[in-house]
Amino acid sequence: MDIVAVLVTAFWAMLPAYVPNNAAVLTGGGPPIDGGRTWNGERILGDGKTWRGTGGGIAAGAILALLLNAVHPTLQDVLAVQLPAPFPPAVVLALPTGALLGDITASFLKRRTGRERGAAFPGLDQLDFVVMALVLTAVADWGWFTATFTPEVLATVLLITPLLHVSTNVIAYKLSLKSEPW
Ligand SMILES: CC(C)=CCC/C(C)=C/CC/C(C)=C/CC/C(C)=C/COC[C@@H](COP(=O)(O)O)OC/C=C(\C)CC/C=C(\C)CC/C=C(\C)CCC=C(C)C
Ligand SMILES: Nc1ccn([C@@H]2O[C@H](COP(=O)(O)OP(=O)(O)OP(=O)(O)O)[C@@H](O)[C@H]2O)c(=O)n1
Ligand SMILES: [Mg+2]
């Protein structure tokens, strides 16, 4: 695969895992998942992980995956690029669900390490959602996963995701959509 094909595959295949975190910020609020419960004096997850944000995020990512599947044949013709095979139904759910599960796991780890809601955890913040999205996708459909995420695509995903995460968060902060720029 040439470099353009690798970049296009990495971005296309990960979009349904990128959008859920954005959508959760926009749709979040209401009752927290942990119901306010604590463990060893600290919140289990905190007020930043809500049912509404999680549901909104998964819905946004799954809808986007279905939209990408719908435009797949046309775009492949028009752009003359090799896109990954359409997202199988299990992957349509695994990518966004994994992304938010990764983010929720990171909040659990942040609370266990004494970090308050909104505190940064460099490294974890940038890769939590992508690692869990990839793991869940591999479990959901191993054939699609290995055909799409070749070693070079996987390396590209792990390289571009932190850059995209940092830039999206700075833009969202400047637009007053997030209270911290990370
Ligand atoms: C479908 C809905 C409801 C919203 C879509 C909004 C949107 C513009 C999505 C772009 C998707 C995308 C390509 C994102 C970049 C990949 C990425 C790593 C995203 C991680 O999201 C971070 C998120 C919160 O993260 P956290 O929970 O871990 O802290 O960021 C907050 C984002 C928002 C509140 C949404 C609004 C975002 C913008 C206005 C910025 C748009 C920026 C880009 C498209 C990327 C531009 C940067 C480069 C270098 C290309
Ligand atoms: N599952 C989720 C993820 C995010 N959000 C919303 O998106 C905001 C930003 O997300 P994030 O940065 O992940 O949460 P933080 O508030 O920073 O909390 P934490 O320290 O636990 O990451 C949250 O405050 C919350 O309003 C949500 O409602 N539900
Ligand atoms: Mg945060």
The pLDDT profile of the chain, 182 residues, written as one tens digit per residue, is: 789 999 999 999 999 999 999 999 999 999 999 999 999 999 999 999 999 999 999 999 999 999 999 999 999 889 888 899 999 999 999 999 999 999 999 999 999 999 999 999 999 999 999 999 999 999 999 999 999 999 999 999 999 999 999 999 999 999 999 999 98
Instruction: Compute the distance from residue 14 Cα to the ligand 1 centre, in Å.
Output: 12
Instruction: Compute the distance from residue 25 Cα to the ligand 3 centre, in Å.
Output: 9
Q: What is the pLDDT of residue 25?
A: 94
Output Rg (C-alpha) for the chain, integer angstroms. Answer: 17
What percent helix, strand, coil does the chain show, rounded to 5? 70, 5, 25
Give ligand 1 pocket residues (Cβ under 6 A): 18-19, 21-23, 25-26, 60, 103, 125, 161, 164-165, 167-169, 171-172, 175, 177-178
ipTM over cut 0.85: yes
Q: What is the pLDDT of residue 7?
A: 95
CA–CA dist 155, 142 (Å, integer): 18
* Ligand 2 site, residue 33, Cβ cutoff 6 A: no
Q: What is the pLDDT of residue 47?
A: 97
Helix 124-140 / helix 3-27 crossing angle, nearest 10 deg: 110
CA–CA dist 141, 87 (Å, integer): 10
Residues 6+ positions from 114 with CB-CB distance below 8 Å:
42
Ligand 2 pocket, mutate which of 22, 42, 50, 116 (most atoms under 8 A from CB)? 50
Instruction: Compute the distance from residue 90 Cα to the ligand 2 centre, in Å.
Output: 25
